[in-house]
Amino acid sequence: SLGIAGDARLLSETETTSDIIHLHTERQEKGTERMNHLFHMVLTTGGKGLSLVNIRSIESVFFHHPDATLYMHYNKNALPLENNTQLKLLHDAEGHDIVFLPYDPTEVLRQTMRLAQLAGHTKDVISLEGAQEFAGNIETKYKNEEYWYANEADLMRLCLIYSIGGTYMDTDMIWIKPVNDMNNIVGKDTPDQINNALLRFTSPQNLFIAKAINSFISEYNGQIWGHNGPQVLSRSARRHPELLCHDSDFPTNNKVHDKCYVTVLKKDAFYPVRWNRWKNLCM
């Protein structure tokens, strides 16, 4: 059967993130082997193109996961990624499967809510009315906020992981070993905070991610940096310890490992080097 990249090549150059969500929804893929090799990145800015760190991040995906497919989701504020010389080299000369997908955050959120309805998560997990109101305010209100570029990326990663599944990673994350044998994982970057720079959930419609989406929407504050990002995951974990696997490095009251939805890993798993220290260590 066709792999993910094979499916993507059947799409026209005008296909978007929303089309990909629809494609996966129609096939009702639930945590298949194919999702183990699917990676997502989101670019909400990009007037100057991709940095060296961004390129090294992409290279590290394929170095440690040769069979990976990388979905690069970008909005209209980012340069057309298909024209990036270094990305074209990785895609064409190196043969890596990189799929470029423009997105509209309003439509992605609305489509995610349609999936949540099908999964039964709009009954008592996600407020459908609140989500619809939020989606309607993106263009008229939220996109004018100073930190919207970051908040948009925070929303997009939750929607992508909930709707499609796979591994989301920030564009400055560098893999140093493969992650194929792990699933439903997030990591801490401080003793009491879960970071959202890397999320791996190969099965879509994960209940913990649904709770996080609801927290994002119902408690949104565009004026506080991080409130709608790492703090969303941390709040969700504290409020719903029953969803955490018992071996999480976070308080949990779940004693049954096979009825949990996320494992919180120790800081050194994903964030051994803080973002502001890498130059001193690597240059």
pLDDT digits (tens, 9 = 90+) for 213-254: 999 999 999 999 999 999 999 999 999 999 999 889 998 887
CATH number of the structural domain spanning residue 51? 3.90.550
Q: Give the domain range for residue 266.
A: 4-282
Q: What pLDDT score was predicted for residue 22?
A: 79
List, in sequence order, the alpha helices (H) in the chain. 4-9, 17-27, 52-64, 85-88, 105-119, 128-137, 148-163, 207-218, 230-239, 267-270, 278-282
Q: What pLDDT score was predicted for residue 48?
A: 63
Q: What pLDDT score was predicted for residue 57?
A: 94
The kind and range of the H/E element at 193 are: strand 193-201
- Distance of alpha carbon 261 from alpha carbon 120, whole angstroms: 16
Q: What pLDDT score was predicted for residue 23?
A: 76
Residues of the chain with pLDDT under 50: 1-12, 31
Q: What pLDDT score was predicted for residue 60?
A: 95
- Distance of alpha carbon 97 from alpha carbon 283, whole angstroms: 29
Q: How many domains does the chain have?
A: 1
The pTM of this model reads: 0.89
- Distance of alpha carbon 137 from alpha carbon 11, whole angstroms: 30
Q: What pLDDT score was predicted for residue 11?
A: 42
Q: What pLDDT score was predicted for residue 33?
A: 65
